[in-house]
Copies of this chain bind each other. A is one copy, B any other.
């Protein structure tokens, strides 16, 4: 009987069937599939033919149960729809794809209870490793999982934990942004803050203060307006600042999204950017180069952060050595900043 490919049989052939058709044992098929041992030329061909004929693809679930490995990496993000996380997730995705791991994304929504629950779900699904993007989950909850699984943290220092952590120098980035404004002659530089309990946001405030201090400018609480990394509160921040009659010629917003909000609020009040007020953000979201005017901001290499996280967790899973290279933050000067007018 000629082995003509049966195109309708691609339903759910099993390894056992492949073995039977190829006239070999299941172990041989498994060995061929995984390259876990040499298989003779003759049997290799027979197996290949059977696989083609049945249009066979291994059942990953069964494979996972038997081997104890799922070839899956859990990625605990906060909000899959946030422009910042997106770039990073794409980096993770690409890094994992290179090693044939699949990402399993879950969102914690900045809620530690939900994060803990999601982490537990990843564990129940027996992921081989985890990438944790930001979040406020307690160290103990992470620790419980970290004992069994490689975990890479992103954007969070782990005081009590000893886990590889990929961070960006937020303080330095904020310092550069503020210093840029100061060098343009601005002395009254307002700051739109991020969430008070967010580590990155805190560091950005510190960088802002450092730059002021260095220039001999006294830090004034009245020039900082609270926001939470979103556009809406960025707008509010400007309204507040304006209402308080604080005077300023430049604004450093703790992230691009709040800078967008600020920019719109300024537009509504008829205040021009950069002619009347200079504005700088932080993150360099994809959209920032298409704002009007294009936003001067601090580039945070989100894609690279994600890529490095994904790559590192794979190295850990496979027992390979890894090295965390420091990621650079850099100021990207565009058109939302200009010298102070005298």
Contacts and interface: CB of A to CB of B under 8 A. Distances in A.
Given A57-B124, A93-B80, A148 B12 contact: yes
Identical subunits present: 2
A102 B124 CA distance: 12
Interface stretch (A23-31, A153-161, A240-248, A286-294): A286-294
Given A86-B81, A87-B81, A287-B287, A125 B60 contact: yes
A256 to B, nearest CB: 10
A256 B52 CA distance: 45
Contact of A65 (B65, B93, B144, B294): B65
A233 to B, nearest CB: 12
A44 interface: no
A152 B50 CA distance: 32
Interface residues of A, number: 48
A148 B11 contact: yes
A103 interface: yes
A229 interface: no
Nearest to A266: B292
A64 interface: yes
A83 interface: yes
A81 B302 CA distance: 12
A338 to B, nearest CB: 15
Contact of A89 (B70, B80, B126): B80
**What are the nearest 4 A-B pairs in CB distance?**
A81-B86, A81-B90, A60-B125, A57-B124
9 contacts: A62-B65, A80-B86, A81-B87, A81-B90, A83-B86, A103-B105, A263-B290, A263-B292, A267-B292
Given A61-B125, A102-B125, A105-B105, 14 more contacts: A61-B61, A80-B80, A80-B86, A80-B93, A83-B86, A86-B86, A231-B287, A231-B290, A260-B287, A261-B290, A263-B290, A264-B290, A264-B292, A287-B287
